[in-house]
Chain A
Amino acid sequence: MQVYLPIAEMSVDALLLLGIGFGVGWLSGLFGVGGGFLLTPLLILIGIPAPVAVGSGANQTLGASVSGLIAQWRRGNVDVRMGSVLLVGGFIGSAAGVQLFAWLRRAGQVDLAVAIFYIVVLGTVGGLMVRESLGAILRRRRKKAARLHEHFWIHGLPFKMRFRKSRLYISVIPPLGIGFFIGVLSAVMGVGGGFMLVPAMIYLLGMPTSVVIGTSLFQVLFVTANVTFLQAVQVGSVDIVLTLLLLVGGVAGAQFGAAMGTRLRGEETRALLGALVLSVAGALLWDMLRVPAQLFVIGPVP
């Protein structure tokens, strides 16, 4: 069943979009991340223009994170104070990111920039995840206890603040910086940033795992809302028909994924997610290295 996307100005198979939404939703339910990092490249792969894929991807991630946030909120797993600090950084970062995106669009290098961001970010995060989770699996075999949480020099910076829910008393500079960085990525890559935020909160800020998912969803929700707003107003690239079709499939898939996720162990889940992230980065890298089928491309005047 073909459906015409009014902003992308093209028709695509609605069932294909529902299927992509379902698949990405299933994985995001399984791993507890938004899945934007898979969605945007997939949309570009089926021929959606990169700006529309990024803008609508952010909008879809917003919808997908709502249900997760409600569930976490009910269990009291959201550190609103930490979330707000991250969010201040996130808002500034996403505003800067949208400007960067608009500039890249004028320079005609959006496709390259999006691809490079994906390869670098996914490659790094995937590599770290696989290494960490394999290490954890090995440690479990050797029955050695891991340290509860570590303190780095960055936690000793000025402007200290108490985060009760996270049981932390640290400088606000690291969470602000992390929030800013995730905000930029969110705008350029059309992702929520959960897949980076979760490890950053655990390993860099030393937050307890119980509040990490809820707090990251809190930040993701507001940052993607900001990106949706800015992309729609400045670039005009948010396609609501595309978003809603992806969401219908995604929400259904997420429930199945979450049910299956409870049966997997933490380290194994992280190793699988890491492998998945790495393979997306590998596929994108291969796409840039191989000789293109068409040596010329046409596009609209920016």
Chain B
Amino acid sequence: MPRALMPRALLRRMRAALALALLAAPAAAQPVTAPTPALAAELSVRRIEVTTAFTGAEILVFGATERLIAPGGDEVVVLVSGPATSLVVRQKVEVLGFWINGPSARFNRIPSYWALAATRPVTEILPEAERAELRLGLDLLPLPQLGSQGPQFRAALRELKQHTGQWQDEARPIEISGGRLFHARLPLPATVATGAYRVQVLMVRDRRVTARQELTLDVVRTGTAANIADIARERPVLYALASILLAGTAGWLGSVLFRRG
């Protein structure tokens, strides 16, 4: 539903963002103390709805910078992180010829979704210390590990999360048009967690982050899917009885229908 409207709305917002960036530059040039707000960024949608027909979506971040986006000019970095989650990574081991779940490590409070995109590889535009401080890179993401120790669990977590598309480490660069307009498309897989997503847009100039903007995106379950999940969680007894009744009725109804046909 919002997808059909996107192109026009997007164009309008991009134009507004560009106008904002152009206006911001001379206005901020007069007072000496205030830094120039040289970056304007926006999201195409602020709310993604997970319905029963949800098959994944895309986070579209767009905006404009004051100077040209080019080597030596401005660079843009976009970092999206989803609500925190806890996961268990299990290693399969061979016991008497059977492959079973062996040692496991638990990772608490890690992002359920994490995506990084930049106009150029982040390692080229920012020094190591700055990257580590802002956690720009999957290898710089803190992953506190409980249970079994060893780097193989962390490596497996990174690999598996990237495989499912829930973590994306500069999978696609930010696209630039007209020298100053940028847009980043970050796919959200169908298995995405619901909650608040934090979108950070950073502008890099002379190997330093000179401007930043923070946006939020809500991923919410709506419609039938949300109702079913809510009832199942909050009223499990009612949900259980309803499931039994519904399955029984469906079985009976189906047999009546097909016997006649």
Write the residues of chain A forming the contact surface with B, with a CB cutoff of 8 angstroms.
2-4, 6-7, 9-11, 59-60, 62-67, 70-71, 108-109, 111-112, 225, 228-230, 232-233, 236, 238, 240-241, 243-244, 247-248, 250-252, 254-255, 288-292, 294-302
**Assuming the A-B contacts A255-B259, A302-B88, are A248 and B254 also in contact, with contact meaning beta carbons closer than 8 angstroms in the complex?**
yes
Contacts of B98 in A (CB 8 A): 288-289
Contacts of B27 in A (CB 8 A): none
**Assuming the A-B contacts A108-B88, A232-B232, are A291 and B251 also in contact, with contact meaning beta carbons closer than 8 angstroms in the complex?**
no
Could you show 23 A-B contacts with beta carbons less than 8 Å apart? A2-B53, A6-B226, A11-B55, A11-B190, A63-B250, A108-B90, A225-B248, A228-B243, A233-B240, A240-B242, A243-B243, A247-B247, A247-B250, A248-B250, A255-B259, A289-B97, A289-B99, A296-B92, A296-B159, A297-B92, A298-B90, A298-B157, A301-B106
Q: Apart from A66-B248, A296-B91, A298-B156, what 14 extra A-B contacts exist at CB < 8 Å? A: A2-B54, A4-B225, A6-B229, A59-B244, A70-B252, A108-B104, A232-B239, A233-B237, A247-B247, A248-B254, A255-B259, A289-B97, A299-B88, A300-B86
Closest B-chain residue to A119, C-beta based? B98
Cβ contact within 8 Å between A60 and B247? yes
Cβ contact within 8 Å between A243 and B254? no
* Chain A residues touching B, majority SS: helix
Partner of A66 from B99, B243, B252 at Cβ < 8 Å: B252
Within the complex, the shortest CB–CB distance from B88 to chain A, in Å, comes to 5
- The 4 A-B pairs at the shortest CB distance, nearest first, are namely A251-B254, A67-B255, A63-B251, A296-B156
Cβ contact within 8 Å between A112 and B87? no
Contacts of A255 in B (CB 8 A): 255, 258-259
Cβ contact within 8 Å between A236 and B233? yes
Contacts of B92 in A (CB 8 A): 292, 294-297
Q: Is B62 an interface residue (CB 8 A)?
A: no
Closest A-chain residue to B166, C-beta based? A298
